[in-house]
Amino acid sequence: MQQPPGLVSSNPAQVCKLSNAIYGLKQAPRSWFQKLSFTLNNMGFLATKSNHSLFTKYTNDITIFILKYVDDIIIIGSSSAAIASVISSLNKFFALKDLGSLYYFLGIEARWTSNSGLHLSQSKYIKELLEHANMHKAKPATYSNDVFLSPYSRFNNSL
């Protein structure tokens, strides 16, 4: 690629003037994904064929899964030392913030229960939604059929 006519730059390596922020470009999601998956591949992670956002690494005694949603990442592993080392090596390539143990992802709260299970809920999301609609002090309603009545049956009922 060469400098287009009209571009005045003494440095021949500069070819185009970037007038958009990288973030706003159409190609941004793709190039972010390529950069992340390239880095993870170098660290020994393989993307699963059925889900390209899921990267896995197996060694003799340790299994690590990395699930990404754009720039939110969950790391699951059979050893917390191995997880910490993955985080620190990722930190060499990207400025990242370790939010600790999983508690909130994509609007879903995750809470560990005593039987080493996981409880998923959307309480925080619902609370914010209700406050936004000024309905947080409303009386609760149980499931009721007329919520889902079609216009047709409304029409029939009024006859």
Partner 1 sequence: MHQPQQHHWKTVKPLLRYLVGSITHGLQLTPSSSYSIKGFSDGDWGSNLDGRKYTIGYYVYLSNNIISWNSHKQKVVSRSNTEPNYRSIATVLFEIIWISSLLLNFIFLLLFQLFTQII
Q: Strands across the sheet with 46-47, in order?
A: 46-47, 54-58, 63-69, 72-77
Please report the DSSP string for 61-91 in residue order: S-EEEEEEETTEEEEEES-HHHHHHHHHHHH
- Which residue in 26, 71, 100, 148 binds partner 1 (CB under 8 A)? 148
Is residue 159 part of the contact set for partner 1 (CB under 8 A)? no
Give me the least distance between CB of 152 and partner 1, in Å please: 4
Q: How far is the CB of 89 from partner 1 (least distance, A)?
A: 17
Q: If binding is defined by CB under 8 A, does position 3 make contact with partner 1?
A: no
Q: Which stretch binds partner 1 (CB under 8 A): 21-29, 40-48, 67-75, 99-107?
A: 40-48
- Are 110 and 99 contacting, i.e. CB atoms less than 8 angstroms apart? no
Residue 95 or 120 having the CB closest to partner 1: 120
Six-digit token pair at 41?
A: 């591949």
Contacts with partner 1 in 53-92 (CB under 8 A)?
Answer: 54, 56-60, 63
- Closer CB to partner 1, 3 or 39, in the complex: 39
CB of 145 to partner 1, least distance (A): 10
Are the C-beta atoms of 37 and 47 separated by less than 8 Å? yes
CB of 29 or CB of 44, closer to partner 1:
44
- Report helix, strand or coil for 127: helix
Sequence-distant (≥ 6) Cβ neighbours of residue 92 within 8 angstroms: none
Q: Residue 32 phi/psi, 5° resolution?
A: -65, -45
Which residues are near partner 1 by CB under 8 A?
Answer: 44, 46, 48-51, 54, 56-60, 63, 109, 113, 115-123, 126-127, 129-130, 133, 135-136, 138-144, 146-148, 150-153
